[in-house]
Structure 1
Amino acid sequence: MNPDYDRIEKAINYLRENFKSQPRLDEVAAHVGLSSYHFQKMFTKWAGVSPKKFLQFISVEYSKHLLKKNRTLFDVSHKTGLSGTGRLHDLFVNIEAMTPGEYKNGGAGLTIHYSFGETPYGKVLIASTEKGVCHTSFIEDDELPETILTQHFPKAELLRDRNEVHDKVLQLFQANLQEKKSIQLHLKGTPFQLKVWKALLEIPAGEVKTYGNLAENIGHPKAYRAVGTAVGQNSIAFIIPCHRVIASTGVIGNYRWGSDRKTAMFGREAAQNKNARLQ
């Protein structure tokens, strides 16, 4: 077996068994016989995230388990090895894009209206709250809206009800993309995700950016991989135009709702741009 993997496996087991004491980087590195520098580099290469981030994921998952049992935030913080409820709050916002209280609440008291519509790119599910559009996605006939919409708000009330907001969304799919239309959004995301999504909204129709371009635009030029992850986590299709992002090689690349659909959207926008210039 690869000796590097042996060390990573040993480190992961150590983190899982000792996360309640929130071990420092040097403690875990010493446990596997490496310097902090080399351990950080090796772990990140193998796991895809830093040891600190991996520890945060473990801590959040355990915290979620306790919150489901209606433990208090103070009790959850203490049992997870965090210094206080403030640390728990920051951890949840950065990892789950919601506060511990919001997770525990599960969307209780929130009403989400949803409906279906047809677009040039297929059937779409549209959902909104009183604050604005909270979800749009391309959907297959056998997919259940309840499964999609309750991922973050399992206790929210879901009503199949098409309203004026949904009509505006469908009009946006059909409209000339040169016409600016304003739609209020109800976004849930970490500060970093919100930065990326805002940068996506600033890409003109018919134009493309690379993940590196987006990383530079938000002031984190080396974070193109994290930008790619944030783009993939966008849950408001088309309105937040993640289809306008391509790989640095020029390849259209993957898309949450299918690469063929991504190509079709970009092609239609590019054609509209060309027609507008010829007029």
Structure 2
Amino acid sequence: MNTIYSIRQPVTTFTSVTEENQINYQRIEQAIRYLEENFQRQPALEEVAEKIHVSPFHFQRMFTEWAGISPKRFLQFLTIDFLKEKLQESKNLVEAAEAAGLSSQSRVYDLFTTLEAVTPQEYKQRGSGIRIEYGFHETPFGKCLIGITERGICWLSFLTGEQDPRVELENMKHHWNNSVFHEDQFLTQAFIEKIFAPTATSQKLHLLVKGTNFQVKVWEALLRIPTGSVTTYQTIANSVNNPKALQAIGSAVGSNHIAYLIPCHRVIRKDGILGEYRWSSVKKKSIIGWEMAKAVGE
């Protein structure tokens, strides 16, 4: 049976978002791509700065302000050997939680998250009667589209490259195809600040997702991956009691329509390769490296 759930998700601390940060992120993404393509010969800071058309001093300062660490250290987080170590750490965390009787951290997770299923009739209406306020905003990872209902955030996606924003808006409308849509930049900006620049008094966020029971179970499992950690498709499959359903797991991860908050970016291949991402592989590297840097800082 297909179901819609409302999910309450904890927030963590992020740096504030400004227009300057957005411009810098575009350059940072270019730098990450260049560093990755030329990692074996370890390009100098001056070379990378020249490629993104800024001075070496400005590039170093810009990157460090964004990530909290140097470009070289950031790239080390994305090497295969380091990611394999992180995978092992994550596995040990899960095993430790199970040994403590927490059932894959489910009890810890329940402290922050509640699930509410709507009736089958509500699902059959395919979004009918739901009003969605939406807006386009800058984030530490480029421009995004966010959709809000009275029951919570129902959409969050990143625009890629020079993508026409109207294309992403149509994607959201297709997913919630019988809903009523209304642009409200003022309302949605408040949610963007709660997500990417929360304060100590910020309230927990509520998410509204639409998917099959299996998809929702996978997305629920994604919420249990700690910030700054990564896991494998196999681990997710084991956590939902479908160890052989790797293809279905991958499909469910890729179908996630609330980026970042439901952290599908934290799922990588067991060989330590990051793999693809619905909103571009470079953005996946940016988010993972950024989160790891913040976790180290904390």
Sort the TM-score into its range (normalised by shorter chain): 0.5 to 0.7
Unaligned runs of 5+ in 1: 1-97
User: How far, CA to CA, are the matches of 2:234 and 2:211 in structure 1?
Assistant: 21
Match of 1:172 among 170, 195, 204: 195
How far did 1:274 drift? 1.0
Aligned twin of 2:269:
247
Q: 1:204 to 1:124 in 2, by over 3 A?
A: same
Cα deviation code 1:132-158 (max 9, x no counterpart):
100000125513154122213333211
Aligned twin of 1:154:
177
Aligned twin of 2:27:
none
Aligned twin of 1:267:
289
Q: Is the 8 A contact 1:119 1:170 kept in 2?
A: no
Aligned twin of 2:63:
none
Matched residues, number: 178
Q: 1:164 to 1:211 in 2, by over 3 A?
A: same
Match of 1:115 among 112, 120, 135: 135
User: How far, CA to CA, are the matches of 1:221 and 1:228 in structure 2?
Assistant: 12
Q: 1:126 to 1:224 in 2, by over 3 A?
A: same
Q: 1:265 to 1:101 in 2, by over 3 A?
A: closer
How far did 1:227 drift? 0.9
- The DSSP-based 3-state class of the residue aligned with 2:209 is coil
Code of the residue aligned with 1:135 in structure 2: it is W
User: How far, CA to CA, are the matches of 2:203 and 2:222 in structure 1?
Assistant: 16
Aligned twin of 1:138:
158
How far did 1:223 drift? 1.5
Cα deviation code 1:213-236 (max 9, x no counterpart):
111112211122211110000000
Q: 1:237 to 1:101 in 2, by over 3 A?
A: closer
- The DSSP-based 3-state class of the residue aligned with 1:255 is coil
How far did 1:169 drift? 3.5
Code of the residue aligned with 1:267 in structure 2: it is G
- The DSSP-based 3-state class of the residue aligned with 1:184 is strand
Q: Is the 8 A contact 1:117 1:170 kept in 2?
A: no
How far did 1:184 drift? 0.4
User: How far, CA to CA, are the matches of 1:138 and 1:224 in structure 2?
Assistant: 25
Does residue 1:236 correspond to 2:258, yes or no? yes
How far did 1:180 drift? 9.1
Please state which structure has a larger fraction of its residues in strand: 2
Q: CA RMSD in A?
A: 2.7
- The DSSP-based 3-state class of the residue aligned with 1:214 is helix
Does residue 1:212 correspond to 2:234, yes or no? yes
Q: Is the 8 A contact 2:254 2:278 kept in 1?
A: yes
Q: Is the 8 A contact 1:112 1:128 kept in 2?
A: yes
Q: TM-score, normalised by structure 1?
A: 0.58
How far did 1:195 drift? 0.7
Aligned twin of 1:258:
280
User: How far, CA to CA, are the matches of 1:107 and 1:175 in structure 2?
Assistant: 29
Does residue 1:190 correspond to 2:212, yes or no? yes
Q: Is the 8 A contact 2:146 2:188 kept in 1?
A: no
User: How far, CA to CA, are the matches of 2:201 and 2:295 in structure 1?
Assistant: 11
How far did 1:162 drift? 3.2
Question: Which has more radius of gyration?
Answer: 1
Code of the residue aligned with 1:252 in structure 2: it is L
- The DSSP-based 3-state class of the residue aligned with 1:199 is helix
Unaligned runs of 5+ in 2: 1-118
User: How far, CA to CA, are the matches of 2:263 and 2:185 in structure 1?
Assistant: 23
Q: 1:106 to 1:193 in 2, by over 3 A?
A: closer
Bigger relative contact order, structure 1 or 2 (CA pairs below 8 A, ≥6 apart): 2
Q: TM-score, normalised by structure 2?
A: 0.54
Percent identity over the alignment is: 40
- The DSSP-based 3-state class of the residue aligned with 2:132 is strand
Aligned twin of 2:50:
none
